[in-house]
Amino acid sequence: MVNKIEVNLNAISHNLQVIKDHIDAECKIIGVVKANAYGHGLVETARAVWTSGADILAVATIDEAVQLRIAKIKSPIIVLSYVESSEFRRALDFDITLTVFDLRQVTRLSQEAAKLNKWARVDVKIDSGMNRFGFAPYEALDCYQKILQLGHIKIDGIHSHFADAAGNKEFSKQQINQFQNILFSLQQNRIAAPMVHMAATEATFLYPEAHFDAVRVGLCLYGYCGLKIEQKELHPALELKSEIAQIRRVGTGETVGYGATFKAERPTKLAVLPIGYADGYPRALSNRSEVIVGEKRAKVAGRICMNIVMADVTGISCSVGDEAILIGGKGDDKVDAEDLARWGETIPNEILSRLSPTITREYHFK
């Protein structure tokens, strides 16, 4: 295979232990494996997260949840995003917890569960400041009480989500207070709260008071968190590799690629790699990113094509068939998803999750 992704399962286990070291022993871990496990491959990665000590798995779609069930993964599974009513039966058949955020949605779920004489599991979403899905604070208590009155509904959890955990600590504290007020209102009305969770990756490290009963971690499972001190503890689990398909030499003044955005300032040796933005290597990295060839960095030359990348390997000993590392490497000659995110002016979450599922994944214990 020309292009491949290698996943170090020991790194995932290590990262999960780092998370455990930052939370109380009784606090549960919800391992987020949505978006093809952030590009790492859904089933094998989810199995590693589960067997390494996560208590619950979380996905974004019913399809992802069903894939895990078909793979005989028996952990509790939460779908964090929207599920249309036509999919409620699948959630019931496969014992999957759905996130609910409006009364019409959960009422329909109750009706579907009654038809099948089953109990639907739900996790109630509270909007504490993101202004996406969720019950608004002013209606949260009333809506929660109405959900309790519905038949065939079991509330497994209640949760919220930070808008800017690392960047705006004042606002994050307000969100915690907002959520705590809702939990207090349940207590005042003698309603026992189910499992409470709010903290994702950054908040897990920044706000111990937001750990509640569980932390809901995604990015840090895969070796990234955006926080410098904690980042040193984590091990990136994924490497993206290709190989040199052709070596070309261009003269001074010649251009390379679409739009002629790269112009050789000296006689230049190019490595042509059969990978591109259709494979998840963003076009935004054109003339910015670097790859590892022969244990040395080589800068991308010209615009990244749909399935081709050119790299300036002048002065590097290499030939057709040699390995090129687009994410990964060793020591100082290492390019990670944080680097790509910085060059592409995005976040590592996007870099990882957009890696094409058609690229072969290989799983190792390194």
Q: What's 238-364's CATH class?
A: mainly beta
| Alpha helix stretches (DSSP H) within 195-347 | 201-206, 228-231, 337-344
The CB density around residue 119, as the number of other CB atoms within 10 Å, is: 15
Examine the pLDDT at 231 and tell me if it is beyond 80.
no
| Alpha helix stretches (DSSP H) within 100-254 | 103-116, 137-149, 169-188, 201-206, 228-231
The CB density around residue 339, as the number of other CB atoms within 10 Å, is: 17
Per the model's pLDDT, the better-predicted residue between 227 and 114 turns out to be: 114
Burial of residue 149, with CB atoms counted within 10 A of its CB: 0-12 exposed, 13-18 middle, 19 or more buried = exposed
Amino acid at 175: Q
Bridge partner list, 4: 241, 360
Average pLDDT over residues 314-342: 92
Active site members: 34, 258
Task: For residue range 135-152, list pLDDT tens digits in order.
Answer: 999 999 999 999 999 999
What pLDDT score does 228 carry? 73
Task: For residue range 158-167, list pLDDT tens digits in order.
Answer: 999 999 999 8
Three-state secondary structure call for residue 196 = strand
Does residue 201 contact residue 219 with C-beta atoms inside 8 Å?
yes
User: Where does the chain hold its CATH 3.20.20.10 domain(s)?
Assistant: 9-223
Examine the pLDDT at 245 and tell me if it is beyond 90.
yes
Instruction: Calculate the alpha carbon distances from 316 to 89, 287, 295, 325, 336 in Å.
Output: 58, 18, 9, 14, 21
What pLDDT score does 160 carry? 97
Whole-prediction pTM: 0.93
Amino acid at 163: A
Mean pLDDT rounded to a whole number for the chain: 95
User: Where does the chain hold its CATH 2.40.37.10 domain(s)?
Assistant: 238-364
> What is the CATH architecture of 9-223?
Alpha-Beta Barrel (3.20)
Task: For residue range 174-186, list pLDDT tens digits in order.
Answer: 999 999 999 999 9
Three-state secondary structure call for residue 184 = helix
Integer Cα distance of 252 and 229 in angstroms: 44
Task: For residue range 27-80, list pLDDT tens digits in order.
Answer: 999 999 999 999 999 999 999 999 999 999 999 999 999 999 999 999 999 999
* Phi-psi group of 302: left, alpha or beta (phi > 0 → left; psi -120 to 50 → alpha; rest → beta): left
Run of H or E residues at 64: helix 62-70
Tell me the residue ranges of DSSP E strands in the chain.
Answer: 4-8, 28-32, 56-59, 77-79, 97-100, 120-125, 153-159, 195-197, 214-217, 238-243, 246-250, 255-256, 262-263, 268-273, 290-293, 296-300, 309-312, 323-330, 333-335, 360-364
Does residue 135 contact residue 126 with C-beta atoms inside 8 Å?
yes
Q: Select from 52, 46, 43, 42 the least CA-distant residue to 19.
A: 52
What pLDDT score does 226 carry? 79
Average pLDDT over residues 20-31: 96
Average pLDDT over residues 225-232: 76
Q: Select from 21, 72, 51, 31 the least CA-distant residue to 363.
A: 51
In our burial notation (b when 16+ CB lie closer than 10 A, e otherwise), range 28-66 reads bbbbbbbbbbbbbbbbbbbbbbbebebebbbbbbbebbb
Integer Cα distance of 291 and 309 in angstroms: 10
Give 229's pLDDT tier (boundaries 50, 70, 90): low
